[in-house]
Chain A
Amino acid sequence: MAKTVSLKINGKEVKAAEGATLLDAAEEAGIHIPNLCYLKGLKGIGACRMCLVEVEGGKGTVPACTAKVKEGMAVNTDTESLKEMRRFVLDLILSMHPLDCMTCTKAGVCRLQQYAYDAEIKESSFTRKYFGYPIDEANPFIKRDPDYCILCARCVRVCKEQGTNVLDFMGRGVGSKVTTAHDKPLQESACTFCGSCVDACPVNALLEADRWRKGREWEYTKTASACLACGNGCDIIISTKDNNIAKINSGADEESVEKYICAIGRFGFDALLSDQRITVPMKRVGNELQETTWEDALSIAAEKLKSAKVKGIISSAGILNEDASALSKLASDVIKTKDIDTTVSLYSDADSMKSSDIVDLDASDLIVLAGLDPSQWQRGLPALDAAVRKRVSRGAKLIVINSAETKAGAVAAVNIIGDEAASLAQLAKSISDKSGKASKDIYALLSGINSTEDSDKAAELFTGAKSPVIFCSPSLFSASRNISILTSANVVAVPFEANARGVIAAGLERKGTSYQDILSGKTDALYVIGETPAAGRPDTKFMVVQTSYWTDLAKEADLILPSTSYLESSGTIVNYLGKIKKVHKAVPPAGDSKQHKEIFADLAEAMGTTLKASKTDVKKALKTKAKAKVSPFEKQSGLDIDPSEFTKSINKSVITGSRLAWLEECLKAAVCQS
């Protein structure tokens, strides 16, 4: 626990953590200091001059966003002269800001509007300035209208902090403008369209491209949930109006480095109501898939699954814990097969998922990426990439160990390119040489290993680290765990699907034949759940596909059971950091689609039994894990797949059915840069 200091704000006794800014300390005490450029979590820049406060005994005023609390300090935030100063600042800003609040999309959540209201400023007393900058709206994601910009640099700073570096100030003084490097449209500026700038903009300068007349904030119902598009499982807030999704924003705490979602998470929702969506049960009649009723579909599925001798079940790990435990129960009690496995097997073993630690990313001061190449640009674990870069911007050190060059390597303190398992062994050697404390088993493993200059440098970083964390590809989990035996490092095998840790914890893991063997083998009946990366019809007599979208397998199916997407489902997931997150239904299921667990229950009924509730407790399962054992420095083979390719394949329908298709086309045509 950090030391606290006592101070007085507006006469009120307040306690604050040492090193806190006056603005944060006041906010904590329930006193709002007006500000436009401050963004919690990021360093204050004192640019807008709205947060000026008076310190008793001090000269003049200080910006509360950069001034630190001191013991015994007495601060006033709301004196008449401060109010006058703020009025002046607002007066200046409003002289170059459009006064069209009555039609402005941001009305109601615009800070400038709020402060102008508080200060009773109807219009500026200065000569009105109007630049008439062109609007950047050639892309379907983000609309940039610099005439609304108040030059607070929030977008510039979030874009820089997460390493995308698209936006910056160009020029200076009154004529300065926030724009891309050469004032090019976003799609020509290596923008990833994550929309972090949209979340940061306090006014109407950066907005979702299609927001015009799609409702304003007060008309929306907000649902906090989690995104299931990739291995990161980010927090999201879904805004709906009349049961339609209007927009999705990042839902993580403002100050957390997890405050980020990618373009798929933000804009992929278009696909919910697109032609990629399946909303009614369908059965194959001759060469065609025809609509049918749930009753008919379930009875066919029941009959086929009952009569089949060789049956297999494969599932995506992008389903909720509750769905996973129901499926596990359905397989063992009702369908009675051991040949069940999930897509997790494509990139990880079950143990790596079970034994991964629970990590607080915001506390980590040393991050190791071992055999993992997260990338915002390729959209492979983009939120991990953004979070790591933000941690580095906030002072954490990064070590990258990869067999190939990575983009993250450029911001690493130590970038080791070479054999990953061998590099981890060298790192272990350097660490044990330094501390002189290592068990016999480790010494035995390290004999004959020579440390290198890089591994020594990396080991040095471990010495100073309070909260180190290793993110590794699951294939390097046991090798990475050796480092955790030598240090206090937490180790996380990073999965490529949002709920991989959850489905394994819920008991849905390989019991007999593996995912790939089920797919490539011969079956009488194959039951496929969710959006899986498989393509082409497997060698099976009857295939049931339970999915939300026209996946490649769905097109080949004999029977389709339409399931809800995560935006229409409720339950929990366990994300890659080991956090249990709630998923809440934001919109009603499209058409006749039902959540997986309901379909499993209905199917059990059609098969003549009742699906009993699973006794597996995910929370408990997360807490119980095997102690780290010393294991050889080896890389598990067969698990090397590219996270961005994998993410693309499980989101194929979402990409095709949403505005993300535009980006794909644009990248193909080499108009867009990334």
Chain B
Amino acid sequence: MLKEIEDIKAKYPDTRAALLPALYIAQKEFGWLSLDAMKAVANALNLPESDVRGTASFYSMFRLKPAGRNLIQLCTNISCMILGAERLRDLLKDRYGLLPGGTTEDGRFSLVIMECIGACGTAPAMLVNTDLYENLTEHNIAEILGKYK
């Protein structure tokens, strides 16, 4: 991870500009940003910890609480909602015990309800990590999630 941050650093005019990508790297590595992870980023970029924590806590895409290995981001905005996103949300709860903002017991999935991802024409849609899935149904969602361990 430190090597990756070093590489990223070289691409920016100053280390502060490299903070967001560095936080992404750390989050990818650990699944979430622990205190130690943020300290490591602060050290690697020679930035005050207050800066790192302040930035990490500002953006909703950074997770400051332990999270699962895979992040499901489900859209429930109007198009997705009309086409059954809420049913999918209930399904995740019933089948995986996964509540919005929560993590499965085995640490496999975390769920975040997100705002529109611009896939209204193919709703309902979700992101699993960085992969986009459209036209979700109660049937295909299980198959999709099966790919993520």
Chain B positions 84-117 with a Cβ under 8 Å from a chain A Cβ? none
Bound-state CA distance A333–B35 (Å) is: 67
For chain A, residues 69 to 109, give those with C-beta under 8 angstroms from any C-beta of chain B. Answer: none
Contact of B58 among A160, A165, A171, A181 (CB under 8 A): A171
| 9-residue interface stretch from B42-50, B121-129, B139-147 | B42-50
Asked if B57 and A165 sit within 8 Å, CB to CB, the answer is no
- In this complex, the member of A160, A176, A182, A410 whose beta carbon has the largest number of chain B beta carbons within 10 angstroms is A182
Whether a CB of chain B sits under 8 angstroms from the CB of A445 is: no
Does A308 have its Cβ within 8 Å of any Cβ on chain B? no
A169 touches B48 (CB 8 A): no
Is A168 an interface position by the 8 A CB rule? yes
Between A and B, how many residue pairs show CB distances below 8 Å? 37
In the bound complex, how far is the Cα of B57 from the Cα of A168, in angstroms? 11
CB-based contact B50/A171 at 8 Å: no
Contact of B53 among A170, A176, A410 (CB under 8 A): A170
Q: How far is the CB of B122 from chain A (nearest CB, A)?
A: 31
B interface, size bucket: 10 to 19
**Pair A410/B58 contact, Cβ less than 8 Å:** no
B10-52 interface (Cβ within 8 A of A): 35, 38, 46, 48-52
CB interface residues, A 148-202, toward B, < 8 Å: 160, 165-172, 176, 180-182, 189
Which residues does chain B contribute within 8 Å of A410, judged by CB atoms?
Answer: 46
Q: How far is the CA of A22 from the CA of B27 in the complex (A)?
A: 44
What is the distance, in angstroms, from A190's C-beta to the closest C-beta of chain B?
8
- B51 partner, pick from A165, A176, A182, A189, beta carbons under 8 A: A165
| Contact between A167 and B50, CB atoms less than 8 A apart | yes
B35: nearest residue on chain A (CB-CB)? Answer: A182
- Give the CA-CA distance A182 to B57 in the complex, in Å: 10
Contacts of B38 in A (CB 8 A): 181-182
In angstroms, Cα B101 to Cα A316, docked, is: 64
Q: Are A168 and B51 in contact (CB under 8 A)?
A: yes
Residues in A neighbouring B58, C-beta threshold 8 A:
169, 171-172, 176
Contacts of B49 in A (CB 8 A): 165, 181-182
**A170 CA / B51 CA spacing, docked (Å):** 9
Q: Determine the distance from Cα of A181 to Cα of B49 in the docked complex, in whole angstroms.
A: 5
Q: Determine the chain A residues whose CB is within 8 A of the CB of B50 once the complex forms.
A: 165-168, 180-181, 189
- List A contacts of B53 (CB < 8 A): 168, 170, 181-182
Contacting pair B35 A168 (CB below 8 A): no
Closest CB-CB distance, A27 to chain B, in whole Å? Answer: 30
The residue of chain B having its C-beta at the shortest distance from the C-beta of A175 within the complex is: B57
Of B49, B50, B53, B54, the most chain A CB neighbours within 10 A belong to B50
Within 8 A of B (CB), among A410-464: 410
B46-97 contacts to A, CB under 8 A, are 46, 48-54, 57-58
Residue of A166, A168, A169 with most chain B CB atoms under a 10 A cut-off = A168
Q: Considering the chains assembled together, what is the distance between the CA atoms of A133 and B42 in angstroms?
A: 26
B48 near A165 with CB under 8 A, answer yes
Give the chain B neighbours of A189 by CB distance below 8 A: 50
Nearest residue, chain B, Cβ from A172: B58
Closest Cβ of chain B: how far from A377's Cβ, in Å? 13
B35 to chain A, nearest CB (A): 6
List residues of A (394-415) whose CB comes within 8 Å of B's CBs.
410
CB <8 Å contact, A170 and B35: no
Give the chain A neighbours of B57 by CB distance below 8 A.
Answer: 169-172
CB-nearest residue of chain A relative to B50?
Answer: A168
> Chain A residues near B51 (CB, 8 Å)?
165, 168
Docked complex Cα distance between A375 and B132 (Å):
52
Query: Is the Cβ of A168 less than 8 Å from the Cβ of B46?
Result: no
Hey, which chain B residues are within 8 Å of A181, CB to CB? Answer: 38, 48-50, 52-53
Contacts of A168 in B (CB 8 A): 48, 50-51, 53-54
- Residues from chain A with a CB closer than 8 A to the CB of B35 are 182
CA distance A410 to B57 in the complex (A): 26
A165 to B57 Cα, complex, angstroms: 16
Find the residue from A171, A176, A181 having the highest chain B CB count within 10 A: A181
Which residues in chain A, 271-304, are within 8 Å of chain B measured between CB atoms?
none
Chain B positions within 8 Å of A171 at CB level: 57-58
Q: In whole Å, how far is A461's beta carbon from the nearest beta carbon of chain B?
A: 18
Nearest CB to that of A167 among chain B residues?
Answer: B50
How many angstroms between the C-alpha atoms of A170 and B56 in the bound complex?
A: 8
Closest residue of A by beta carbon distance from B56? A170
Considering the chains assembled together, what is the distance between the CA atoms of A189 and B51 in angstroms?
13
> Complex: how many Å from CA A189 to CA B49?
9
Taken together as a complex, chains A and B put the C-alpha atoms of A165 and B48 apart, in Å, by 6
| Residues of B contacting A170 in the complex (Cβ-Cβ under 8 angstroms) | 53-54, 57
Q: Whose C-beta in chain B lies nearest to the C-beta of A164?
A: B48
3 A-B pairs with the lowest CB-CB distances in the bound complex, closest first = A165-B48, A181-B49, A168-B54
Task: Provide a sorted-by-A list of 23 A–B residue pairs whose CB atoms are within 8 angstroms.
Answer: A160-B48, A165-B48, A165-B49, A166-B48, A166-B50, A167-B50, A168-B50, A168-B54, A169-B57, A169-B58, A170-B54, A170-B57, A171-B57, A172-B57, A180-B50, A181-B38, A181-B48, A181-B50, A181-B52, A181-B53, A182-B38, A182-B49, A410-B46
